[in-house]
Structure 1
Amino acid sequence: MSANKLDFLGACNYSNQELFRIDSEEKQSYVEMVSANIASVHPTGICIQGTNTIDVSNAWTFYDGTPMTFFKWIPTEPIGLGWIRINRGSDFEWEVPPRPNWWTCTYMCEIRII
């Protein structure tokens, strides 16, 4: 479903869920596979975990502060401060969406088993 920041953070903050983390090529490929045919229903991007607003040096981290090591940026990205959205129209590469469409996206939640 298409959502804004409060929608998906609230939806994924239930029963030990969190917004999907992509930390490997395998997880990136999984998102591409399961979402390949939803563009006709939801043409927006897919919001995933990742922000450069937590770390004092603006490094990219997951929401718990863990440093990110895997990225699939559009060649001109990342631009500015914010969060990450997958752009389906750009080979599922990542972007920092500009305002006012900052949080318009679909999303996936996951349960991490530690």
Structure 2
Amino acid sequence: MSNESEQMYLNRDLCFTANIDKVYPTGICIQGTNTIDVNNKWTFFDGTPMTYFKWLPGEPNGLGFIRIDRSKGFGWVVPPMPNWWTATYMCEIRMI
């Protein structure tokens, strides 16, 4: 996710996704980590720097990966280990 427009599209799409919170109440993983860059800056998984963020208050907290919290206005959190991967996953495909 690289801008507010993508965030808004995602919010709308997830609002229509039936009962996903009953399957994975912990959130939805999106691309982004601070474990690749030597200075712990946030990047996409290919190492490209991230420029858009929608962190919840107090976040990012620690090293790890980004998860969207549906119950808190689709804000972003860094879940504590070992729960990094307890989530639904979101993929983005560029169409040419």
Is the structural similarity TM-score above 0.5? yes
Normalised-by-shorter TM-score class: 0.7 to 0.9
| Higher strand content, 1 or 2 | 1
Residue 75 of structure 1: how far off its partner (Å): 1.0
User: 2:41 is matched by which residue type in structure 1?
Assistant: A
CA deviations 1:17-45 (Å, max 9, x no partner) are xxxxx101111011111112432443230
Note if 1:91 corresponds to 2:73: yes
User: 2:5 is matched by which residue type in structure 1?
Assistant: E
Superposed CA RMSD in Å reads 1.5
**Corresponding residue number in structure 2 for 1:30:** 9
Q: Which runs of 5+ in 1 are unaligned?
A: 1-21
**Corresponding residue number in structure 2 for 1:53:** 35
Residue 113 of structure 1: how far off its partner (Å): 4.6
Residue 99 of structure 1: how far off its partner (Å): 2.2
CA distance in 2, matches of 1:99, 1:53: 13
SS at structure 2 position matched to 1:57: coil
Question: What percent identity do the matched residue pairs reach?
Answer: 65
Q: Which runs of 5+ in 2 are unaligned?
A: none
CA distance in 1, matches of 2:59, 2:77: 6
TM-score by length of 2: 0.87
How many residue pairs align between the two structures?
A: 93
Note if 1:62 corresponds to 2:28: no
CA distance in 2, matches of 1:87, 1:96: 10
CA distance in 2, matches of 1:51, 1:41: 24
User: 2:32 is matched by which residue type in structure 1?
Assistant: G
Higher relative contact order (CA 8 A, sep 6+): 1
